[in-house]
Amino acid sequence: MTAREVLRLEQVNFVREGRAILSDVSFTIGAGEHWALIGPNGAGKSTILSFCGAERHPTRGAVYVLGQQLGRVEIRKLREQIGHVNPRHPLRSPLTVREVVLTGATGTTELMMGWQADSALVARADALIHTLGLGDRSEARWPTMSQGERGRALIARALLPDPPLLLLDEPSTGLDVAAREQLLATLDDLHDSHPELATVLVTHHFEELPETTTHAMLLRDGAVLAAGDVAETLTTELVSQSFDYPIAIERTAGRWLARTPRARVHSHEHSA
């Protein structure tokens, strides 16, 4: 393992109930790299993310997270070093933004009974809340927050332990276009302010990719179709192969757009 390596999968296979979910998946992520995992539904994106988060073990192959091989390390301590943003965060209590962010220190959904954050941790939580644009909402309670505010709060929560690896599982889920753009701007700012942070973002919508995305992996039927530099991976030819459908890929002002290459069909208007 090199000094800058954060994550490595080596010929990972995963079988569930006799069905092959992943086949010979290999890739390496270095510090400061921002990866997008892209592919159609059922291609294996979420399964790969679960290995990155030390939540599953491969059926065959090896997974190294932060220099530790899964199966040979104490999982709980490893997970404490990984930031994970899930927009379907299963919080049921009316916690405040600050309280939600502080649960990042314990890796729990709710506040732990008897646990008390020290002043330094509270100060870090407040600084992250401000960085994520929620400075005036630190006392807002979860049920009253918009989906966009919740998404940014969950990023602050994931960053509280200062992890070297941040996982984002379809972070734009449920957001309207304004909230999505605000979230993407937040991610771009985060990449600038945390140059060593490695991120892995799962999506199947190209407009949800931050401008700062550096690498991409295209999946098809549980296998890696292509992986590497984002500009060399997200091409019309490769994306069309991944989705088994003709898709034209464009990049304008750092943002990606996917559309059908077919000529538009214009309807003829008939007067009554």
Residue 271: pLDDT over 80:
no
Contact predicate 80/74, CB 8 Å: no
Indicate the pLDDT class of residue 190, thresholds 50, 70 and 90. Answer: confident
Give the whole-angstrom CA distance, residue 236 versus residue 28: 24
User: What is the rounded average pLDDT of the residues 151-161?
Assistant: 91
Helix, strand, coil fractions of the chain, as percent rounded to 5: 30, 30, 40
Would the pLDDT of 272 be above 70?
Answer: no
pLDDT confidence band for 245 (50 / 70 / 90): very high
Per the structure block, which two tokens stand in for 126? 């407040």
What average pLDDT does this structure show over 20-42?
A: 94
Beta strand pairing call for 248-252 and 223-229: unpaired
Alpha carbons 259 and 119: distance in angstroms, whole number: 50
Q: What is the mean pLDDT of residues 199-221?
A: 94
171-176 contacts, C-beta under 8 A, 24 or more apart: 171/85, 171/87, 171/201, 171/208, 172/87, 172/203, 172/205, 172/208, 173/87, 173/88, 174/87, 174/147, 175/147, 175/148, 175/151, 176/148
List of E strands, the chain: 5-16, 19-30, 34-38, 60-65, 68-69, 82-85, 165-169, 198-203, 215-220, 223-229, 248-252, 255-259
Q: What is the pLDDT of residues 83-112, one digit of tens each?
A: 988 878 888 889 999 999 999 888 788 888
Can you say whether the dihedral through the CA atoms of 71, 5, 158, 177 is positive or negative?
Answer: negative
Residues listed for the chain: 272
For a pLDDT cut of 70, what percent of the chain falls above it? Answer: 95
Domains in the chain, CATH or no CATH each? 1-81+163-272 (3.40.50.300), 92-162 (no CATH)
Query: Whole-model pTM above 0.95?
Result: no
Give 132's pLDDT tier (boundaries 50, 70, 90): confident
C-beta of residue 223 within 8 angstroms of C-beta of residue 47 = no
